[in-house]
Amino acid sequence: MNKQNLTIGGKELRSRFFLGTGRYPNPFVQNEAIRASDAEILTFAIRRVNLEAPGEDAILQHLEEERNFTYLPNTSGAKTAEEAVRIARLARASGLSDWIKVEISANEKTLLPDPIETLKATETLVSEGFTVLPYTSDDPVLCKRLEEAGAAAVMPGGSPIGTGLGILNPYNLGLIIEEANVPIIVDAGLGSAMDVTQAMELGADGVLMNTPVARAKNPVKMAEAMKLAIEAGRLSYEAGRIPKKKYATASSGLPSFISN
């Protein structure tokens, strides 16, 4: 993708950090964390927003005054494609956004995305003109199918939502990125700046997170740490790391210092 900026659905973004708005200790900390992150995309569960008066909603009312955010509402809580589509339509009808993160989980224990329902919802919402970013598992075949269905970006999880386990299968994620013709945003399961850097060094176009920032001991500092990790990981990916070798290679050219 573009070296400087990321483009999704025709919108150019400076930041590769997508930030969730839930689970912060209070609105002040939430706002300070958002400011520290420099994120331009904010995500939240539609079911948490008052769709009858979104401009007065407690989650959103204090954000637009300072910066022009792009909202990425999600369909968290949906268990079928039909539910997700209905939720997305309600969000758009309220004037909230025509961007939508499809999130469909059939199992409340693991919250792993339902692949069949996610694909069905993506196909329907794309046909209705939504900018669709589906949250999915790290299955390279499924990610490709979602791209072919018209997803503006695909969002595979590094591990289950909220676990902080990091990237459990970097090989799969690398395959997804290698084959993609749309941006790949790593979503779910990351826990630290190390995880974020790994995702970006693998070639991910961005990272979405909520819990690692919101539930940190200091969310504001963690938001800044994650922002810097994204930038460092992206620079490292663009610079190109040295190949891994089995044996040591002297960087000083030791033989040249040996004299008779």
Rounded to a whole number of angstroms, the CA Rg of the chain reads 20
| Averaged pLDDT for residues 162-166 | 87
22 labeled part of a ligand binding site:
no
180 annotated binding-site participant: no
Q: Which of 241, 162, 160, 165 is nearest to 200 (CA)?
A: 241
Residue 226 has pLDDT above 50, yes or no: yes
Q: What does the pLDDT read at residue 254?
A: 56
Number of H helices, E strands in the chain: 8, 10
Q: Is 197 annotated as a binding residue?
A: no
Per-residue pLDDT band for 239 (boundaries 50, 70, 90) equals very high
Looking at the predicted structure, is the pLDDT value of residue 259 above 60? no
Domains of the chain: 6-239 (3.20.20.70)
pLDDT class of 1 with cuts at 50, 70, 90:
very low
Q: How are beta strands 11-13 and 6-8 bridged, if at all?
A: antiparallel
- Which H, E and C letters describe 129-178, residue by residue? CCEEEEEECCCHHHHHHHHHCCCCCEEECCCCCCCCCCCCCHHHHHHHHH
Whole-number Å distance between alpha carbons of 1 and 166: 24
Residue in 183, 177, 167 with CA at minimum distance from that of residue 132:
183
31 assigned ligand-binding residue: no
DSSP3 helix / strand / coil % (the chain, rounded to 5) = 40, 15, 45
Structure tokens at 186: 């790593």
Amino acid residing at 247: Y
Would you say 210 is a known binding-site residue? Answer: yes
Whether residue 142 has pLDDT greater than 50: yes
Residue 221 appears among annotated catalytic residues = no
Whole-number pLDDT of residue 97: 84
Going by pLDDT thresholds of 50, 70 and 90, the confidence category of residue 207 is very high
Sign (positive or negative) of CA dihedral 131, 169, 236, 179: negative
Catalytic residue among 3, 11, 79, 101: 101
pLDDT digits (tens, 9 = 90+) for 55-114: 554 555 555 455 678 889 999 889 999 999 999 998 898 888 889 999 998 777 777 899
Q: CB–CB of 90/128 below 8 Å?
A: no
Instruction: Spell 41-79 as b/e; 16+ CB within 10 A means b.
Output: bbbbbbeebebeebeebebbeebeeeeebbbbbbbbbbe
pLDDT of amino acid 202: 94
Cα–Cα distances in Å, from 104 out to 56, 93, 113, 116, 232? 27, 21, 5, 10, 32
